């Protein structure tokens, strides 16, 4: 079973940009996404503005796990890039999401003005980002409902099938729970939850 820090990690950064240096900031933000594409474990990145007249800009990037994320964040390339933007860019908030919340927000956040690993830049890139804020994760109660809808039938099926294991009913309860969780955790993580969230995406995004 995968360790907790081996899950993909999405980082969202909010910055305030000098409105008089929008052209420089546009090139600077794109340069940051271009640099990230060359690092192992890179899964995608993008940037958006809160609105045409707003000084709030958002950057999003995603890496395979904590080790590859830290390799990018501690790299001299990123340090140089950050230094080059200090005259006009000020970081005001950083948020990392992984585990359960990562399943919900990543499909909604990475579809806008994104660059994915191995993707070649078009010959005529867009002049600016889509004017749209980064969507937030769905409410916690919707996340809970989604997890339950995936977990209940999966657990029911597993309990039924394990009933055919000779002597399983006589095992101590801790041993039965241990076996079932070891079997179901990767199934839920890699198959059931991604499938359920895709099916329920319109409902999760609504509102």
Q: Where are the domains of the chain?
A: 4-115, 140-205
> Whole-angstrom Cα distance, residue 53 to residue 48?
13
What's the fold here for domain 4-115?
Answer: Alpha-Beta Plaits (3.30.70)
- pLDDT value at residue 71: 92
Pull the structure tokens for residue 67: 């080790």
- Among 52, 66, 48, smallest CA distance to 12 is for 48
> Taking the CB of residue 106, how many other CB atoms lie within 10 A of it?
21
70: tokens are 């830290």
Nearest to 109 by CA among 67, 56, 59, 73: 59
Burial of residue 82 (number of CB atoms within 10 Å: 0-12, 13-18, 19+): middle
Give 7's DSSP letter: S
List the beta bridge partners of residue 42.
Answer: 63
Say if residues 62 and 110 touch (Cβ distance below 8 Å): yes
Q: Taking a C-beta distance cutoff of 8 angstroms, is the pair 60, 47 a contact?
A: yes
pLDDT at 203: 84
Residue 5, pLDDT score = 55
Predicted confidence at residue 99, as pLDDT, reads 52
Contact 69, 9 (CB under 8 A): yes
Query: Which long-range CB contacts under 8 A does 119-126 form with residues at least 24 apart?
Result: 119/37, 121/34, 125/30
| Low-confidence residues in the chain, pLDDT < 50 | 1-4, 106-134
CB-CB contact of 45 with 33 (8 Å): yes
How many CA atoms are closer than 13 Å to the CA of 40, on its beta-carbon side? 4
Q: What is the CA radius of gyration of the chain?
A: 21
Across the strands, what pairs with 17? Answer: 89
């Amino acid at each position: 079973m995968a360790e907790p820090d081996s899950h993909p990690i999405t980082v969202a950064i909010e910055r305030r940009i000098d409105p008089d240096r929008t052209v420089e900031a546009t090139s600077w933000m794109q340069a940051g996404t271009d640099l990230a594409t060359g690092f192992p474990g890179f899964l995608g990145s993008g940037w958006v503005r809160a609105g045409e007249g707003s000084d709030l800009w958002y950057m999003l990037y995603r890496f395979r796990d904590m080790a590859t994320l830290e390799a990018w964040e501690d790299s001299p390339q990123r340090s140089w890039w950050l230094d080059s933007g200090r005259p006009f860019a000020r970081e005001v908030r950083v948020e990392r999401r992984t585990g359960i919340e990562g399943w919900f927000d990543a499909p909604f956040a990475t579809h806008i003005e994104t660059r994915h690993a191995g993707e070649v830049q078009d010959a005529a890139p867009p002049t600016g980002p889509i004017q749209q804020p980064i969507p937030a994760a769905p409410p916690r109660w919707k996340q809970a409902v989604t997890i339950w809808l995936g977990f209940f039938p999966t657990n029911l099926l597993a309990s039924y099938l394990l009933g055919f294991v000779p002597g399983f009913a006589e095992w101590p309860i801790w041993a039965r729970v241990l076996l079932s969780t070891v079997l179901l955790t990767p199934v839920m993580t890699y198959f059931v939850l991604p499938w359920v969230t895709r099916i329920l995406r319109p409902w999760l995004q609504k509102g």
